[in-house]
Amino acid sequence: MSPLLDYTSFCQIVEEQLEVTMQQPVTGGERLRDDLQLDSMRLLQLLVHLELEHGYVLVDEQLAQLPQMTVDQLLQSLAQKEVV
């Protein structure tokens, strides 16, 4: 299944929401914490933005793994939020 977000859109959202400059180009293998220097709180802020503004969610069971994820792993794990 193809991810909901491409690299360009992801980088744009990260830069806008977290006020950071991303190293370009992103290849997908970058680890969110160790390579992109995004701490756990900023990653959670990003997730909340993705949910509220774009309708993309990460299941609770994967939240704790978020800092260790790569960009690809995050993008592959994002799912469309179910509308009740």
Partner 1 sequence: MIKVHCLVSCVCEVIKRSDADHRPYYFGIWDADFALTSEFVLSHHAAHISHEAMLDWYRLLYGITVHSWYDPSRSKAANLTVLEQFMKTKRPEQSVIVMLDLARLPERENKFHHEVFPHYVMLEPTDDEDRWRMLDPDFRYEGEFDRTRILQAIDQPTVAGGFWFDGSQVKLPDTEAVSSYFMSGLKRHHPLTEAVEQVILHHAARPEKLPEALKQLPVIAIRKYAYEHAFAYFYERLGIDLVASDFDDWCDKIEQLVNQYTIIQHRAIKYSMTRDRADLQDIQQWLVAQTTLEDDIKRQLVDLFSRFQQKEGETDATRTLYDQLPASSTVIR
Q: How far is the CB of 22 from partner 1 (least distance, A)?
A: 16
List the one residue from 51, 70, 72, 73 that touches partner 1 (CB under 8 A). 51
Can you read off the two tokens belonging to residue 5?
A: 């977000």
Q: Counting contacts by CB under 8 A, is residue 47 touching partner 1?
A: yes
CA distance 64 to 57: 14
Cβ contact 81:55 at 8 Å: yes
Binding footprint of partner 1 on the chain (CB under 8 A): 33-34, 37-41, 44-45, 47-49, 51-52, 60-61, 63-64, 66-67
